[in-house]
Chain A
Amino acid sequence: MEGTILSRAEALAEWMRREIAALLEIGPERVPVDLPFDRFGLDSVAVVKLSASLTDHLRRDIDPVLFYEHPTIGDLAHQLVQLEGGHA
């Protein structure tokens, strides 16, 4: 995926919105990127599944604990893109 770090973070955030929206069975536009993950009411199993999807999507191991250490979609997307050094 090409583009600046910011645009790649936005694309990743959009992907996560769609994944969470699917889990919650609502439209992606209703999923805020600045709300802490634990406010979505996802249980531990759902968070582990989400990290597994993200692992497949990015083709690198994404630990579920990252969802709490970077607790919003925006934070996590930015962090992951930074960690990849722009290769996410």
Chain B
Amino acid sequence: MPRTRREMSASLRASSPEANAAHGAAFIPRRAPSGSSAGAIRHHYDVAPSFYRLWLGEGLVYSGALWAERDTLDDAQRRKLDHHVAESSAAGKRRVLDIGCGWGALLARLVGHHGVQEAVGLTLSPSQADWIARRHDPRVDVRLESWADHRPTEPYDAIISIGAFEHFAKTEDDDGQKVASYAEFFQKCRDWLRPDGRLSLQTFAYGSARRREAGLSSEATKFLEEQIFPETDPPRLANIAEAIEGTFEIVRLRNDRLDYARTCREWLDRLKAHRAEAAIEVGEETVAKYERYLTYSYIGFRTGRLDLYRITLAPVPKAWTPT
């Protein structure tokens, strides 16, 4: 079970937003200025890690993997993390930011395997932040903070964000509001990056097999919105393309939706195989809900109603102004 916030804040580093809060600085917004609220994120991600471990595997990586034919789930998740490290040129760098760091698999990989000196992770889930802080790795700085409130004191050499962008807009947002939220995110990333840095982004999105309107009104989407990911609506590729205008250029773009289908299949098989243990952790009703969610997700990625984008982005230099 997650410990109390007071216990947790003691385990976070002095530079953390929890510590900042003691000095009157805002730390967790009641609602992020755009996208899912902290409460909505907690709804999904503050479920006991012991439940997630039963089906996500030891690495607790909760996003589409990158599969080679003979990979196990753990191999494919590592391959995915390493893909983003390579695309963002993060290896051997001094400071790297992970936006939506989950239970810290990428942070650990950056400092433990890729020689990064300092890895900063942002999450809105106290349970996840606590999980990472308990490792006491001095090279890792986890912050219970939205990207919208992040104020780095130094630039980053690379930024990676895997499976967080999906939460940056809400179902009731129209395209204009979504693009505005995404544009704000990209602008911040551009401002935080060194000019030769890269942003490696992974997000699922509405695919082109069905118009968003049809997807939004489907029973499966309603179930996911109401039961699994409140206040969350994924982007369309056009939203992302529009939102980067003036801040980033696309270096590479891949749609690996079948990789996500295979990942969902693997998660579903594991959850079914551990159904009894999972029910002890979270109750039978929640387990049934997750099986349904993973089945719908599998079908979505398999049929192209959902895509999985891995996008490598280079910052557009800011306009020179004479001083």
The answer to the question of A43 belonging to the interface, with a C-beta cut-off of 8 Å to chain B, is yes
Query: Which residue of chain A has the shortest Cβ distance to B219 in the bound complex?
Result: A45
Whether B265 lies near A65 (C-beta < 8 A) is yes
B208-221 CB mask vs A (1 if < 8 Å, else 0) is: 00000000001110
Q: Which of A45-77 contact B (CB under 8 A)?
A: 45, 47-48, 63-65, 68
Which of B29-37, B61-69, B112-120, B293-301 sits within the interface? B293-301
Whether A68 lies near B302 (C-beta < 8 A) is yes
The answer to the question of B303 belonging to the interface, with a C-beta cut-off of 8 Å to chain A, is yes
Closest Cβ of chain B to A49, distance in Å, is 10
Whether B292 lies near A65 (C-beta < 8 A) is no
Interface size on A, residues (CB 8 A): 10
CA distance A47 to B303 in the complex (A): 12
Give the chain B neighbours of A68 by CB distance below 8 A.
261, 298-299, 302-303
Give the chain B neighbours of A48 by CB distance below 8 A.
292, 295-296
* Residue positions of B touching A, CB distance < 8 A: 218-220, 223, 261, 265, 268, 292, 295-296, 298-300, 302-303, 305
The 7 nearest A-B residue pairs measured at CB: A44-B220, A44-B299, A45-B219, A44-B296, A38-B303, A68-B302, A43-B218
10 contacts across the A-B interface (CB closer than 8 A):
A38-B303, A44-B220, A44-B299, A44-B300, A45-B223, A47-B299, A48-B296, A64-B298, A65-B268, A68-B302
Interface contacts beyond A48-B292, A65-B299: sample of 9 additional A-B pairs, CB < 8 Å, sorted by A: A38-B303, A44-B218, A44-B219, A45-B220, A64-B295, A64-B299, A65-B268, A68-B261, A68-B302
